[in-house]
């Protein structure tokens, strides 16, 4: 079933657009980071970290791919055949959750390679180098895990909403706009700590791209994993009680 999900992803043209968009944005981010860096920052761990953060665009792309991998079944009417082939709908959802791991990880690998392919020669031309170390390796690993978690979150969102456009637009608006606004509103009552447990803010804290003062790394990762489980369960409940014809 996981192989079938991967087959669905790679035999449609949508993945080409997602991949090109991710590579283009990661390349622009990496080039902009190196090109605007002051001389005293060249060769520093801080700059290398910012270069690696360009691969964070893979998180957004994986989120959308996860949503589309589910909602496309309803959009194109293939969900009936999917459920006929596998009447156990919980297994269908689990297969989609597991199937998103490979494309999400691949997106991270390709965006990271591209960012380094742009930054390393550029730094060498400037007489500098890319700083390596265990800290940066850990940071890159957290971005990889976060990318996979975002993909799994997308699958849960897609299973709950099922309509592709509202799912994609609504999910992105929630992460980019609603979470910040709600957290700010909670701050008026000194309850902004609640906002740290929202999925977007928790995963940002886990990969290190979030604002200071939120959850620490591993608790944030646990919260992100919890959101994957909760949305997956809600998606399963919606799918299992649905009459699909």
pLDDT tens per residue, range 103-132:
999 999 999 999 999 999 999 998 888 888
pLDDT bin (cut points 50, 70, 90) of residue 12 is: confident
From residue 61, how far is each of 22, 106, 129, 231, 243 by CA, in Å?
6, 11, 29, 18, 31
Q: Can you tell me the mean pLDDT for 16-35?
A: 93
Q: Return the pLDDT at 244.
A: 76
Higher-scoring residue by pLDDT: 157, 7:
157
Kindly state the percentage of the chain with pLDDT values over 70. 100
pLDDT at 145 over 70: yes
pLDDT of residue 177 exceeding 90: yes
Would you state the structure tokens that stand for residue 209, as one six-digit string? Answer: 């791209």
Q: And the tokens for 168?
A: 């994609």
pLDDT number for residue 211 = 76
């Amino acid at each position: 079933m996981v192989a079938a999900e991967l087959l669905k992803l790679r035999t449609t043209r949508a993945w080409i657009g997602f991949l090109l968009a991710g590579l283009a944005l990661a390349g622009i981010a990496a080039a902009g980071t190196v090109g605007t860096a002051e001389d005293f920052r060249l060769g520093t761990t801080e700059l290398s970290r910012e270069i690696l953060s360009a691969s964070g665009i893979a998180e957004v792309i994986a989120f959308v791919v996860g949503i589309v991998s589910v909602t496309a079944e309803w959009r194109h009417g293939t969900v009936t055949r999917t459920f006929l082939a596998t009447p156990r709908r919980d297994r269908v959802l689990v297969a989609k959750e597991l199937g998103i791991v490979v494309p999400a990880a691949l997106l991270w690998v390709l965006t990271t390679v591209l960012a380094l392919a742009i930054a390393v020669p550029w730094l060498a031309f400037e007489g500098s180098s890319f700083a390596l170390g265990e800290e940066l390796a850990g940071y890159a690993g957290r971005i990889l895990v976060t990318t996979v978690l975002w993909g799994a979150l997308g699958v849960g969102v897609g299973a709950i909403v099922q309509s592709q456009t509202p799912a994609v637009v609504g999910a992105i608006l929630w992460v980019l706009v609603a979470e910040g606004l709600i957290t700010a509103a909670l701050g008026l009552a000194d309850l902004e700590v609640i906002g740290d447990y929202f999925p977007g803010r928790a995963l940002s804290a886990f990969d290190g791209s979030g604002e200071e003062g939120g959850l620490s790394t591993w608790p944030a990762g646990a919260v992100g994993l919890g959101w994957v489980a909760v949305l997956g369960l809600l998606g399963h409940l919606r799918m299992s009680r649905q009459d699909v014809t």
